[in-house]
Structure 1
Amino acid sequence: MSDTVDNPFFARLWVAMSAREPESLRLLRRENLLGLSGRVLEVGAGTGTNFAYYPDTVTEVIAVEPERRLAALAARAAGAAPVPVTVDTGTVEKLTARVEFDAVVCSLVLCSVEEPERVVGQLYSLLRPGGQLRYLEHVAGIGARAQLQKFADATLWPRLAGNCHTHRHTEETIAAAGFSVTDARREWAFPAWVPLPVAEFALGVAVKPA
């Protein structure tokens, strides 16, 4: 697939950040993949941080990562993964599948896509009936955190962080696409007092009706 992204600054930043993720975030990544089986689509694979956590009940992972530098690192990580992983260097918007997926995994990616409604709708179409969307995402906070997020999104944060928009109502977008959210909660990957717009995460399971 030939729709790669060239963002060298963000690629260098993400490589540094993913190598130093707090253990709290790694535990959330692992939990997000717990119990998966069958054929899985991972969107925005980055450097392949998730790959080591896939359970052996997964038969195949198609991992989409359009940033070419990150995709190269993801391909290297795929070689050490406990399940078969193929890295696709296109965008999910361009992806078509003759065989539907049993699950889709989104980890810190729906905050950065240009058209989240379109992307979530595409993910819905790629899932089999009864299939799951597993998500671990930056989402809109409340109170002072919300104001910080809005300020960050309106200034330099998206430019520095690969188009990340921290004040998105991602779970509402997922529900509006037709998914049924069956399990969801909020978790802090950093202490609540840390003045970061991305300290809080939403972790959840959404199901395409059978």
Structure 2
Amino acid sequence: MTPPIDPRPGTPQPFTPHPRFARFYARFAGPALDRAGIAAHRRRLLAGLSGEVIEIGAGDGLTFPFYPPEVTRLVAVEPEPNLRALARRRSQDVPVPVDLCDARAERLPFPDASFDAAVACLTLCSIADPHAALVELHRVLRPGGRLRFFEHVQADTRAMRGVQRVLDATVWPRLMGGCHTGRDTRRTITAAGFRLTTVDRFAFPPSRIPLPAGVHVLGTAVRDDDGGRSR
């Protein structure tokens, strides 16, 4: 699915692909996360979903096998062409119907109140404007619709937050496909008009050494009937 060109003011700049990182993620990072036990977290993230669902930053489709059969339609948004091609292959052998969409999370090509639920899985760290993306998810969700999220976030200690700031201002985004280690994603979710209902904060993968991207949150937020927040 390819969306039409959006002529509205404020359209994000054209997406810059990261083909080397996409290949690295598909060949090495994804399998490493599997070995660390990420499947259990993906299963928790998606349990109980039903109806029409949108996932932003779907990558190569690693979440697809975990969607329950009660999901009648999954729209998977992924602007990176290499990852989207891998996701298309994976979508052919999963229990839910998947529509792949070449679009930016910051400007979704769907009408208001189009979906019953939304999913963000390890993607808000690398989206150029996560607030805009969450405002868009708020817009396309139906009133009472739920956002499921699983993201690495700002560290617990002052020392590690300092390390994250240095990494995010220098090499990390360039090496890791735009990823930022220290975003306060929980605050960004609420600033976009969502109400948090459950949040589980934990270290992943388990490690004796603190990792810059080791603190994660997994939870649910609801779209209240307030029309969302402006940018």
Q: TM-score range by the shorter chain?
A: over 0.9
Alignment counterpart, residue 103 of structure 1, candidates 117, 122, 133? 117
CA distance in 2, matches of 1:189, 1:142: 13
Deviating beyond 3 angstroms after TM superposition, the runs of 4 or more aligned structure 1 residues are 2-5
1:23 CA drift (Å): 4.2
1:55 aligns with 2:62: no
Alignment counterpart, residue 203 of structure 2, candidates 185, 188, 191? 188
Equivalent position amino acid for 1:183 in 2: T
Q: Classify the secondary structure of the residue corresponding to 2:93.
A: coil
1:59-208 alignment, distance < 5 Å: 59-98=72-111, 100-143=114-157, 144-208=159-223
Give me the TM-score of the superposition, normalised by structure 1.
0.94
Mind listing any 5+ residue stretches in structure 2 that lack a counterpart? 4-13, 226-231
1:4 CA drift (Å): 5.7
Q: Classify the secondary structure of the residue corresponding to 1:35.
A: coil
What is residue 18 of structure 1 aligned with on the other side? Answer: 30
Distance 1:4 1:81, change over 3 A: farther
Stretch moving more, 125-134 or 139-148: 139-148
Deviations 1:91-121 (A, max 9, x none): 1223222461001100011111111111111
Aligned length: 210
1:194 CA drift (Å): 2.9
CA distance in 1, matches of 2:95, 2:202: 27
Q: Classify the secondary structure of the residue corresponding to 2:37.
A: helix
Stretch moving more, 4-13 or 37-46: 4-13
Equivalent position amino acid for 2:91 in 1: A
2:107, 2:133 within 8 Å by CA — same for their partners in 1?
no
1:209 aligns with 2:224: yes
1:149 CA drift (Å): 1.5
Give me the TM-score of the superposition, normalised by structure 2.
0.86
Q: Classify the secondary structure of the residue corresponding to 2:40.
A: helix
Q: Classify the secondary structure of the residue corresponding to 1:159.
A: helix
Stretch moving more, 148-157 or 60-69: 148-157
